[in-house]
Amino acid sequence: MITVTARPKATVTIHPADPVFIGETVTLTCDIGSGHHWQYDWFKDSNPLSEAQQRKEYTISNVAVSHRGVYTCNGTQSTQPRYSETSDAVTLTVSEKPKPELTSSHKGAALIGKPVVLYCKLDQSAGWRFYWFKHTQSPETETTTETHSYTISSVSVSEGGQYWCRAGRGTPVYYTHYSDALWINVTGTTRSDSLTVSPSRAQHFSADSLSLSCEEQSNSTGWRVRRYTHSEKVSDCSSGWGSVTGSTCNISSLSTSHTGVYWCESESGESSNPVSITVTNGAVILDSPVHPVTEGDPLTLRCLYRDPKPSNLTAELYKDGSLLQTQTTGEMTIRTVSRSHEGLYHCKHPEKGKSPQSWISVTGASFSVSSLLSSLMAVSPYVLVTIVLGVKCYRAQGENSQSSCGSLITNTLRWTFQY
């Protein structure tokens, strides 16, 4: 009797799942169902792959674009069946290192005590863990999640500031690029300008002095300056990093450890909107506002230099990493600020280097009756008078049903526009 044994078919699998990324570790496995002593032959784009021969697993520890291609394998052994069928072709796709997008569930400023959810969006394969950073891209501030979301269940003032995320997978861990920074604005219970910063800017040189003052509010007492840093977390000025005089905190000699988020807080727990202060050992800072800018207002940004100042003041100004302008004076003016001007700004000098980044927030213009009437009067006195007449007519009809709106309007218009 002749026994015919079917040849088993090899199967190629790729881990991690396709696509993989430049610099990542990838393993291709050749599985053959039956038999125990297979020797494996690998092929890339139909050509023998000498460095992988005889091995069931082919591991590439630092994958490059050159590893892209179509892979197959088969096997041979000393017993029957001696040969396997060649596997189906599997394509290895190698892509550029990905960069996630960081977004927030909250549009606009987050209210103290309310939840905020951050999302680290990565439209690439599977198996990722997510790493979250607050205020600085430092392991000291890192939080890890298994999913692409991170929830701040009850936002506090110290939660305001810059956030980043990145993803990682594998052993050793392969990391994506960091996302662009996302700024979380936290709204306090008092006016944003109730914390006064002097000098009034977001960036400062180390060894300079800084004063922070809380404006006493009529309905609260016992105001104090507090701050959040990634090393000390939340602390008061009186804890040693500044000297207290009334509701003012003075720092005589700044260091980079003073970089953080600052706010005013009363005995009853009310708080101002936070401000972000950055201290650098570098030679360049950006003179940018410490408080939000109002829509419609002008804004001037300029490079400032540690002594000795350069003779050439030409500098580049950037928003969100993209060059905006090159100015011989080192300063740029936005005549009318709009929401589109929100973002991360820094400046760069060809000799002195570049400043840290600072986030510039834009708030809506406040509404007032007087400003509305002024605008109407400037655009069209007739429109303004028509509105006033409409109100007078309504009141007249309420007082006397026989009153004629037509005669009232005619008489008033004749009086208003006579010369």
- Report whether pLDDT(356) > 90: yes
Nearest-angstrom CA–CA distance, 186 and 263: 11
Q: Please state the rounded mean pLDDT for residues 72-100.
A: 91
Q: Which of 41, 69, 95 is the last residue before a domain boundary?
A: 95
R_g of the chain, CA atoms, integer Å: 33
Number of helices (H) and strands (E) in the chain: give both, helices first.
3, 38
Residues ≥6 apart with Cβ < 8 Å to 94: 19, 20, 21, 22, 63, 64, 65, 67, 68
Residues ≥6 apart with Cβ < 8 Å to 21: 63, 94, 95, 96, 97, 98, 124, 174, 176
pLDDT on residue 179: 94
How far is residue 141 from each of residues 66, 137, 256, 359, 409, measured CA to CA in Å?
37, 7, 16, 19, 68
Q: Please state the rounded mean pLDDT for residues 153-174.
A: 87
Left (φ > 0), alpha (ψ -120 to 50) or beta: where does 193 sit? alpha
At 405-415, the pLDDT tens digits run 444 444 433 43
At 237-284, the pLDDT tens digits run 999 999 999 999 999 999 999 998 899 988 888 888 888 899 999 999
Query: Residues 68, 144: one domain?
Result: no
- Amino acid (one-letter) located at 340: S
Query: Residues 277, 287: one domain?
Result: no
- How far out from the chain centre does Cα 84 lie? 54
Domain membership flag for residue 372? no
Cis omega (within 30 of 0) on the bond before 199? yes
Nearest-angstrom CA–CA distance, 11 and 29: 8
89 — pLDDT class (breaks 50, 70, 90): very high
- Amino acid (one-letter) located at 375: S
Domain membership flag for residue 158? yes
Least confident of 165-169, 225-229, 363-367: 363-367
Q: Which of 95, 121, 139 is the last residue before a domain boundary?
A: 95
Query: Residues 181, 114: one domain?
Result: yes
CATH number of the domain residue 257 falls in: 2.60.40.10
| Beta-carbon count within 10 A of 281 CB | 10
- Amino acid (one-letter) located at 116: V
Nearest-angstrom CA–CA distance, 243 and 237: 7
Give the 3-state secondary structure of residue 241: coil
- Report whether pLDDT(311) > 50: yes
Q: What are the tokens at 321?
A: 């990493």
Query: Residues 37, 58: one domain?
Result: yes
Domain membership flag for residue 4? no
Q: Please state the rounded mean pLDDT for residues 348-366.
A: 89
Contact in structure between 197 and 278 (CB atoms under 8 Å) = no
Give the 3-state secondary structure of residue 395: helix
pLDDT on residue 354: 96
At 201-234, the pLDDT tens digits run 999 999 999 999 998 765 667 889 999 887 777 8
Query: Residues 33, 50: one domain?
Result: yes
pLDDT on residue 217: 64
Query: DSSP string spanning 183-205?
Result: EE-EE-SS-GGGEEEES-SSEEE
Q: What are the tokens at 210?
A: 């800084």
Least confident of 129-138, 147-156, 377-386: 377-386
Q: Which of 180, 235, 233, 188 is nearest to 215 (CA)?
A: 188
At 98-117, the pLDDT tens digits run 999 999 987 666 777 788 99
Domain membership flag for residue 230? yes
14 — pLDDT class (breaks 50, 70, 90): very high
Domain membership flag for residue 222? yes
Q: Please state the rounded mean pLDDT for residues 65-92.
A: 92
Domain membership flag for residue 319? yes
pLDDT on residue 35: 67
376 — pLDDT class (breaks 50, 70, 90): very low
Report how many domains make up the chain. 5
pLDDT on residue 409: 41
Query: Residues 268, 289: one domain?
Result: no
Q: Which of 185, 6, 175, 142 is nearest to 84 (CA)?
A: 6
Give the 3-state secondary structure of residue 327: strand
pLDDT on residue 24: 94
Domain membership flag for residue 289? yes
- Report whether pLDDT(341) > 60: yes
- Report whether pLDDT(378) > 50: no
Q: Which of 51, 70, 95 is the last residue before a domain boundary?
A: 95
- Report whether pLDDT(168) > 60: yes
Query: Residues 79, 106: one domain?
Result: no
DSSP E strands, 215-357: 224-229, 233-236, 243-245, 248-251, 260-265, 275-280, 284-287, 293-294, 299-305, 315-319, 322-327, 331-334, 343-349, 353-354
Domain membership flag for residue 2? no
pLDDT on residue 391: 42
Give the 3-state secondary structure of residue 159: helix
Q: Which of 403, 292, 281, 272 is nearest to 352 (CA)?
A: 281
- Report whether pLDDT(400) > 90: no
pLDDT on residue 294: 92
Query: Dihedral, CA atoms, 342, 343, 344, 346, nearest 10 degrees?
Result: -60
Domain residues for the domain of 84 are: 10-95
Query: Residues 388, 408: one domain?
Result: yes
For all residues of the chain together, what is the average pLDDT?
A: 83
Least confident of 39-48, 168-177, 297-306, 369-378: 369-378
pLDDT on residue 366: 55
pLDDT on residue 412: 38
pLDDT on residue 317: 97
Query: Residues 179, 106: one domain?
Result: yes
| Residue 226 CB-density burial (10 A; 0-12 exposed, 13-18 middle, 19+ buried) | buried
Give the 3-state secondary structure of residue 341: helix
